[in-house]
Structure 1
Amino acid sequence: MFEARLPQGGLMKKILEALKDLVVNANWDLSAEGMSLQAMDNSHVSLVSVLLQSSGFEEYRCDLNCVMGIQLATMIKVMKCCNNDDSLKMEYKDDPGDSVTFTFESPNQERTSEFTVKLMQIDSEHLALTDDGYDAMITMPSAEFQRICRDLSAFGDAVTIAVIKNSVTFNASGDLGAGTITLLETNSEKEEEKVQIEMDNPVALTFAFKYLHYFCRGAPLSPLVKLTLRNDSPLVVQYDIADFGNIRYFLAPKVTDEDEAA
């Protein structure tokens, strides 16, 4: 038996919006610790991982570890029927275990909606995501990251992120020209406006804008985004969902002409 309740269903809508461009079908892993999801995009270039801790729910019960396979598009359609301030209740019973029920209730309890969605058997490979440290880590406003990706994508299909000392540079170039945006560390009194840079080693890696645009869909979940870079390793873009968990995107770096020549 699995039951979970959120006082504001709008949060789950934001989480699904952050996944929809990358994930078609996915398994939600349910346990006493919470809900988690891990899935690769169809091209197997990027991976997304979601963790929703049981402590972040108003009510949470999971008697046995189980897997809930679902088509994300269907789940999104159901969640569109939920107003942002409606409460959300999810129920999944082991017997027969072929469906999940979503119940939405308005704040004044005058309106209740219930939807049942059939579940799927989904074959998926679960990767062990280990923390192997970093060469550089940047924490910056989510809105600023969105703006950089939007502005620089006019000049190319990829961006090089380079970190040296107390600065991070985003550079894109193409047939139309080139664009460069450099951010320095700031000590703003407002936490959501800070730019923090931690560097163990200089790093410069190139990534496809196509996927970074998808990753920017996680911005409504958190005012800050964390970029973790490690030479010859995937970029990790992480949004922490306050008191609830996080969503992390992983993207392999592009192989540049210089890399191929070497």
Structure 2
Amino acid sequence: MLELRLAQGNLLKKVLEPIKDLVNDANFDCTPTCLSLQGHTPMAFVVLSLRAEGFEHYKCDRNISMGMNLTYMAKMLKCADNDDIITIKADDDESDKVHFVFENPNQSKISDLEMNLMDIDSERLGIPEGEHHATVRMPSAEFSRICKDLSSIGDTVEISVTEEGLKFSTTGEFASANIICKHNTKVEKAEEATIIEMNKAVSLPFALRYMNSFIKATPLSNTVTISLSSEFPLMVQYDIAEMGYIRFYLASKIEEAEYEQ
């Protein structure tokens, strides 16, 4: 028996928005302590982790894997108002279906939608672990704005961390642009700070089309953490309130070129 109740139902919509851009079908893996998801393309990888403590009600008697088409799931969630409470239910005697129940706060309207589950054969991939050369924590809205601005000029962004700061560069057919963000903690609110930690200078190119999918997670968090290393994929992390996180991993354009050879 599975029953997960999320008081802030709109959070589920926000979580799904960036993921469905990258992955069509994925398994939601539920354990007694956590709801998680992994999905990947040849160059990008996404990991979602939501702790049981973040739900208003969380019941999962045994490990369950629910394969879903994320596009259809997103369409179903559009039937819920932003302030609706969302409950996800799956019965042991109905293993091929999942129910989404939407309740408005005063319980004057309750919607029960049923979705067919898919049998998705996928194994959980190991995430490369190690110390990154540089880690930057900055306002997520600023990072989003930079990615969007650079996308109007080129299709590749060079991300560099040096003593000078965090630098985003792109070159297009008719123009080029460089944006530098300095380490800055002299701000009124902690989430407005830009904190740069560098063990070693690093500079790598990435495809902006993927970055523009990642930044759709901006509504989830006021801040974003960007971790760079020449030995591991780029990691972009958005913390989700007190519930967990969504992480995106992206191979550099150098690795992409090697993959295509």
Check whether TM > 0.5.
Answer: yes
What's the counterpart of residue 246 of structure 2? 247
Shift of 1:94: 2.2
Q: Could you list the per-position Cα deviations for residues 170-209 of structure 1 after superposition, in whole angstroms to 9, with x for gaps in the alignment?
A: 1101221210000101111311211000001000010000
Q: Which amino acid counterpart does residue 51 of structure 1 have in structure 2?
A: S
Q: Which amino acid counterpart does residue 117 of structure 1 have in structure 2?
A: M
Q: Write the distance in 2 (CA, Å) between the matches of 1:151 and 1:13.
A: 25
Tell me the percent identity: 44
Shift of 1:241: 0.4
Root-mean-square deviation (CA, aligned residues, Å) is 1.3
What's the counterpart of residue 22 of structure 1? 22
What's the counterpart of residue 50 of structure 1? 48
SS at match of 1:35: strand
TM-score by length of 1: 0.94
Q: Write the distance in 2 (CA, Å) between the matches of 1:61 and 1:141.
A: 35
Q: Write the distance in 1 (CA, Å) between the matches of 2:109 and 2:94.
A: 28
The answer as to whether partners of 2:168 and 2:178 remain within 8 angstroms in 1 is: yes
Shift of 1:96: 2.8
What's the counterpart of residue 112 of structure 2? 114
The answer as to whether partners of 1:10 and 1:84 remain within 8 angstroms in 2 is: yes
Q: Could you list the per-position Cα deviations for residues 107-152 of structure 1 after superposition, in whole angstroms to 9, with x for gaps in the alignment?
A: 1111000001010100123111243111000111111111111111
Q: Could you list the per-position Cα deviations for residues 20-61 of structure 1 after superposition, in whole angstroms to 9, with x for gaps in the alignment?
A: 2111010001101110000013xx110111001101000001
TM-score by length of 2: 0.95
Of 157-166 and 29-38, more deviation after overlay is shown by: 157-166
The answer as to whether partners of 1:232 and 1:253 remain within 8 angstroms in 2 is: no
How many pairs does the alignment contain?
255
What's the counterpart of residue 31 of structure 1? 31
What's the counterpart of residue 62 of structure 2? 64
Of 193-202 and 16-25, more deviation after overlay is shown by: 16-25
Q: Which amino acid counterpart does residue 134 of structure 1 have in structure 2?
A: H
Alignment of 1:1-262 (within 5 A): 1-41=1-41, 44-165=42-163, 167-187=165-185, 188-255=187-254
Q: Which amino acid counterpart does residue 98 of structure 1 have in structure 2?
A: D
Q: Which amino acid counterpart does residue 35 of structure 2 have in structure 1?
A: M
The answer as to whether partners of 2:128 and 2:232 remain within 8 angstroms in 1 is: no
The answer as to whether partners of 1:166 and 1:197 remain within 8 angstroms in 2 is: no
Q: Write the distance in 2 (CA, Å) between the matches of 1:225 and 1:131.
A: 19
Residue segments in structure 2 that go unaligned for 5+ positions in a row: none
Q: Which runs of 4+ in 1 moved over 2 A?
A: none
Q: Which amino acid counterpart does residue 29 of structure 1 have in structure 2?
A: D
Residue segments in structure 1 that go unaligned for 5+ positions in a row: none
The answer as to whether partners of 2:101 and 2:112 remain within 8 angstroms in 1 is: yes
Shift of 1:217: 0.5
Shift of 1:165: 2.3
Q: Write the distance in 1 (CA, Å) between the matches of 2:91 and 2:200.
A: 50
